[in-house]
Amino acid sequence: LAALSQVLRLERSRRAGIVFPLQKLERYLAPGTDTARFRLFQPGLAALQRAEALFRSDRGHAIDYVSSAVRMDHAPPPALPEVCFIGRSNVGKSSLIRALFSLAPEVEVRVSKTPGHTKKMNFFKVGKYFTLVDMPGYGYRAPQDFVEMVEAYLQERRNLKRTFLLVDGVVGLQKTDNIAVEMLEEFGIPYVMVLTKIDRASRGVLLKNVLEIQEFVKENTQGCFPQLFLVSSVEFSGVHLLRCFVAHVTGNLPTVEAS
């Protein structure tokens, strides 16, 4: 289901669940629950298709791993609009980036998980349109190199358009996620939360985590987009919508008409 054309062949309710997984949860909420935050970004098919074209490589449109860096002076020049992905180790970050790039199978999403190895920022270039950065994951005790590297990146990267903070859909927001939230809030960086591995969470657990995070975002954050993005890198749910949001925030979808 990596491509929309495959999703469109599914029957209607399954298709809606793959493209708009958050909205699928709406009907299990108590009547009267405010669901405005469930549909702030709800593009139509044309916008989803235009976004998908950006994530599909072809002869005139290369999608490539560019380089890795441990320090900002090793980062590629900030020439294109950029988005970055951060989250706890094991949150599903490399799987999600692989799913986003699954229509460009030549892209190698490297993972350096060897304990003790320095974690790096990995830069990917999507044609002449934008760059995507895979940031090092943080752990129970955020290692100092993570904090220093990510802090410098967030503070200095002028072309950064949006940060995607990944949260595990099975366990929800954890104390360690506060490291990232506090950093983003302190620097006034616009970000959005992405709930991963939703295929693994029961509907009850997922709803609980979604509502808890929405409440947290409402009460405690300034810079976080109020709509959560739900994804499964295994089933591709939410992946098409996320591609569209990335295309939108990097200025590559001049108009996004609603569905």
Residues that bind ligand GDP (CB under 6 A): 87, 89-95, 137, 196-197, 199-200, 232-234
Q: Which is nearer to ligand GDP, 195 or 253 (CB)?
A: 195
Inter-CA distances, 100 with 27, 33, 159, 167, Å? 28, 32, 21, 17
Q: How far is the CB of 238 from ligand GDP (least distance, A)?
A: 9
As a whole number of angstroms, the distance between CA 88 and CA 244 comes to: 24
DSSP 83-150: EEEEEBTTSSHHHHHHHHTTTSTT--------TTSPP-EEEEEETTTEEEEEPPPB-SS--HHHHHHH
Q: Which is nearer to ligand GDP, 170 or 207 (CB)?
A: 170
Q: Which is nearer to ligand GDP, 91 or 224 (CB)?
A: 91
Buried b (16+ CB within 10 A) or exposed e, 60-76: eeebebeebbeeeeebe
Q: Which is nearer to ligand GDP, 37 or 98 (CB)?
A: 98
Q: Which is nearer to ligand GDP, 68 or 89 (CB)?
A: 89
Q: How far is the CB of 257 from ligand GDP (least distance, A)?
A: 29
Q: How far is the CB of 230 from ligand GDP (least distance, A)?
A: 10
Burial of residue 36, with CB atoms counted within 10 A of its CB: 0-12 exposed, 13-18 middle, 19 or more buried:
exposed
As a whole number of angstroms, the distance between CA 157 and CA 180 comes to: 16
Q: How far is the CB of 255 from ligand GDP (least distance, A)?
A: 30
Q: How far is the CB of 233 from ligand GDP (least distance, A)?
A: 4
Q: How far is the CB of 98 from ligand GDP (least distance, A)?
A: 7
Q: Which is nearer to ligand GDP, 89 or 221 (CB)?
A: 89
Q: How far is the CB of 17 from ligand GDP (least distance, A)?
A: 14
Q: Which is nearer to ligand GDP, 94 or 209 (CB)?
A: 94
Cβ neighbors of 164 (< 8 A, separation 6 or more) are 83, 84, 85, 86, 191, 192, 193, 194, 229, 242
Phi/psi of residue 214, nearest 5 degrees: -60, -40
